């Protein structure tokens, strides 16, 4: 028996399992030693003369060197996008645009194993997630928007849609290729050209995507990829010839971008942080809810803007639920992202690991009770044990701020009214979850929850047809569905 199994508050695990290693072969992906910027269909050295290393967060090994785009490089990329927009793409027959998007979707499917391995190596997420979630969804977004490209007048009846022009797109490190797809697919379908900046710690799948564009024979300059750091993103935001900025990332940077663009006429959509309430009523299917809770917060190491990081449990089932949850945590496997049995991979960067540690220390200092299952972590790399805090005050930092790590805060409620009040007691409004067997209660809750997405008896489900976005400090604008197209169009 393990130490955990002996504890009174945790029911014993049914059996001890030892999993044999099941590594995904990494030789399917071969990185270049160095990647330049992708501008006008060519890989070019940066005018800035600067490069930086991208590393694997699981092993700390360097995977490649990547260009750091400065102001002049951003200017060249925007110029290439403008030229492609004026001299071809915006005037192309919509069914031709659709053809390119379909090709990209199919190539993503064909190369999905290679791209999934690259994603897990560069970002640290478990291969079963990049293989089964990120890649299929990225391809699905291109398929979905390919279908709309020649049907825009049906998507927006009685209105005459026109593209905006050049879109500057800035994406984070938690779903690198998927966020790329969320941004590029609707922009191109609507007839825009793009300059995309991936996050500093996860540039490699965006760079491999340049080869997908080449294979699809996408005209040069329609997609430009510029790697760099926050300063590169800031240059892109400030560029006077960009018609639209689409940003996904932290609320702090989102606010700075909004300030920068105020009064300029540049279109803007912001998809920012979250502190979602996952609300569990006493009539729910408890075992199913436990899986939903685990998926809600430990999926992708909790690096998920819509993660169910605040668990609201009805008091009458608090004890059995917490006991089952703790037991379930003892079965999560933390480790090598390329192992097919891994549930929780590496934390994306050292900086993010330090941020999580600091939050967890503040939770303990503020009087919450911490539970972490016994867990052997690899010696190298950045790791954090899946963590649950109980006895959490609503006002504490771990209940209010986005941790963006595998850390769950548990609070309780007695009535549906109290659940709504507590769930909405946040600066954010991106997502929420409701677990109950009563359909009427789901509808009652959904009407009252201030969240862009409300999942019922499930969590973290995504579909390209469904709009996604937030209220309050979670940003504005929607991605996905027809709403996602509208964000890249203007109307006569």
Question: How many Cα atoms sit within 13 Å of 396 on the Cβ side?
Answer: 24
Question: How many Cα atoms sit within 13 Å of 377 on the Cβ side?
Answer: 17
When asked if residue 256 is in the footprint of ligand NDP (CB under 6 A), the reply is yes
Nearer to ligand NDP, 250 or 391 (CB): 250
Contacts of 112 (CB under 8 A, 6+ apart): 131, 135, 136, 139
When asked if residue 305 is in the footprint of ligand NDP (CB under 6 A), the reply is yes
- SS3 of 9-28: CCCCCCCCCCCCCCECCCCC
Q: What is the CA radius of gyration of the chain?
A: 23
Distance CA 450, CA 432 (A): 9
- Per-residue mark of binding to ligand NDP, 172-191 (x: CB under 6 A): xxx-----------------
When asked if residue 234 is in the footprint of ligand NDP (CB under 6 A), the reply is yes
Nearer to ligand NDP, 222 or 253 (CB): 253
Distance CA 100, CA 266 (A): 27
Active site residue 375: no
CB of 392 to ligand NDP, least distance (A): 18
- According to DSSP, residue 134 is labeled I
Binder to ligand NDP among 162, 355, 397, 482 (CB under 6 A)? 355
Distance CA 306, CA 452 (A): 10
When asked if residue 41 is in the footprint of ligand NDP (CB under 6 A), the reply is no
Q: Which stretch binds ligand NDP (CB under 6 A): 63-71, 166-174, 291-299, 384-392?
A: 166-174
When asked if residue 249 is in the footprint of ligand NDP (CB under 6 A), the reply is yes
Nearer to ligand NDP, 373 or 477 (CB): 477
* Helix%, strand%, coil% for the chain, nearest 5: 40, 20, 40
Nearer to ligand NDP, 389 or 413 (CB): 389
CB of 227 to ligand NDP, least distance (A): 8
Active site residue 271: yes
When asked if residue 402 is in the footprint of ligand NDP (CB under 6 A), the reply is yes
When asked if residue 248 is in the footprint of ligand NDP (CB under 6 A), the reply is yes
CB of 475 to ligand NDP, least distance (A): 8
When asked if residue 170 is in the footprint of ligand NDP (CB under 6 A), the reply is yes
Q: What is the dihedral of CA 240, 478, 258, 354, to 10 degrees?
A: -110
Where does residue 299 fall: left (phi above 0), alpha (psi -120 to 50 degrees), or beta otherwise? beta
CB of 460 to ligand NDP, least distance (A): 13
Nearer to ligand NDP, 330 or 431 (CB): 431
Contacts of 391 (CB under 8 A, 6+ apart): 367, 368, 369
Binder to ligand NDP among 63, 185, 218, 253 (CB under 6 A)? 253
CB of 233 to ligand NDP, least distance (A): 2
When asked if residue 473 is in the footprint of ligand NDP (CB under 6 A), the reply is no
Nearer to ligand NDP, 56 or 314 (CB): 56
Distance CA 376, CA 365 (A): 25
- SS3 of 143-200: HHHHHHCCCHHHHCCCCCEEECCEEEEECCCCCHHHHHHHHHHHHHHCCCEEEEECCC
Q: Which stretch binds ligand NDP (CB under 6 A): 40-48, 115-123, 139-147, 192-200?
A: 192-200
CB of 357 to ligand NDP, least distance (A): 12
CB of 329 to ligand NDP, least distance (A): 22
Nearer to ligand NDP, 307 or 445 (CB): 307
Helix (H, G, I), strand (E, B), or coil: what is residue 270?
strand
Q: Which stretch binds ligand NDP (CB under 6 A): 105-113, 247-255, 357-365, 460-468?
A: 247-255
Catalytic residue among 129, 271, 473, 486: 271
Catalytic residue among 129, 305, 306, 402: 305
CB 286 within 8 A of CB 292: no
CB of 193 to ligand NDP, least distance (A): 19
Nearer to ligand NDP, 169 or 330 (CB): 169
When asked if residue 404 is in the footprint of ligand NDP (CB under 6 A), the reply is yes
Binder to ligand NDP among 123, 233, 452, 480 (CB under 6 A)? 233
CB 101 within 8 A of CB 213: no
The helix (H) or strand (E) run that includes residue 387 is strand 387-390
Distance CA 411, CA 279 (A): 10
CB of 18 to ligand NDP, least distance (A): 34
Q: Which two tokens stand for residue 391?
A: 């006895």
Q: Look up tokens 């169910």; give the residue.
A: 308
Binder to ligand NDP among 119, 122, 134, 200 (CB under 6 A)? 200
Beta strands 161-163; 489-491: pairing state: antiparallel
What is the binding site for ligand NDP (CB under 6 A)? 170-174, 197, 199-200, 229-230, 233-234, 237, 248-250, 253, 256-257, 272-273, 305, 352, 355, 402, 404
Question: Hey, which residues are catalytic here?
Answer: 271, 305
């Amino acid at each position: 028996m393990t130490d955990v199994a002996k504890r009174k508050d945790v029911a014993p695990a049914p059996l001890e399992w030892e999993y044999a290693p099941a590594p995904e072969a990494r030789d399917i992906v071969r990185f270049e030693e160095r990647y330049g910027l992708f501008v006008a269909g060519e890989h070019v050295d940066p005018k800035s003369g600067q490069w930086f290393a991208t590393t694997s967060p699981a092993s700390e090994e360097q995977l490649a060197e990547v260009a750091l785009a400065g102001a002049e490089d951003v200017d060249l990329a925007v110029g290439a996008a403008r030229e492609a927009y004026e001299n071809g793409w915006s005037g192309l027959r919509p069914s031709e645009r659709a053809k390119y998007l379909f090709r990209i979707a199919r190539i993503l499917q064909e190369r999905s194993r290679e791209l999934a391995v690259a994603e897990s190596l560069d970002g640290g997420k478990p291969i079963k997630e990049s293989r089964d979630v990120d890649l299929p969804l990225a391809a699905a977004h291109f398929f979905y928007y390919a279908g709309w490209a020649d049907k825009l007048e049906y998507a927006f009846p009685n209105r005459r849609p026109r593209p905006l022009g050049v879109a500057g797109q800035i994406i984070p490190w938690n779903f690198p290729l998927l966020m790329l797809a969320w941004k590029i697919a609707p922009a191109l379908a609507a007839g825009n050209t793009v300059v995309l900046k991936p996050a500093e710690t996860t540039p490699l799948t965006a760079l491999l995507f340049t080869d997908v564009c080449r294979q699809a024979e996408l005209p040069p300059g329609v997609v430009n990829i510029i790697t760099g750091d926050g300063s590169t993103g800031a240059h892109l935001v400030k560029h006077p010839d960009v018609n639209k900025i689409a940003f996904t990332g932290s609320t702090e940077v989102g606010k700075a971008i909004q300030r920068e663009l105020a009064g300029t006429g540049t279109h803007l959509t912001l998809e920012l942080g979250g502190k979602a309430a996952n609300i569990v009523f006493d009539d729910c299917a408890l075992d199913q809810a436990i899986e939903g809770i685990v998926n809600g917060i430990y999926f992708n190491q909790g690096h998920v803007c819509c993660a169910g990081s605040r668990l609201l449990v009805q008091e009458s089932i608090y004890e059995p639920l917490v006991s089952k949850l703790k037991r379930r945590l003892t079965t999560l496997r933390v480790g090598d992202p390329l192992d097919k049995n891994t549930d929780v991979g590496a934390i994306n960067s050292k900086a993010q690991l330090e941020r999580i540690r600091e939050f967890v220390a503040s939770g303990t200092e503020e009087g919450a009770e911490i539970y972490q299952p016994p867990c052997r972590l690899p010696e190298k790399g950045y790791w954090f044990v899946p963590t649950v805090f109980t006895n959490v005050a609503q006002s504490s930092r771990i209940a209010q701020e986005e941790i963006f790590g595998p850390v769950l805060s548990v609070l309780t409620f007695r009535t549906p009214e109290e659940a709504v009040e507590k769930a909405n007691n946040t600066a954010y409004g991106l997502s929420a979850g409701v677990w109950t067997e009563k359909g009427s209660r789901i509808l009652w809750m959904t009407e009252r929850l201030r969240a862009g997405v409300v999942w019922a008896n499930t969590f973290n489900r995504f579909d390209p047809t469904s709009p996604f976005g937030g209220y309050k400090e979670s940003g504005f604008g929607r991605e996905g569905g027809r709403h996602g197209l509208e964000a890249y169009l203007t109307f006569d």
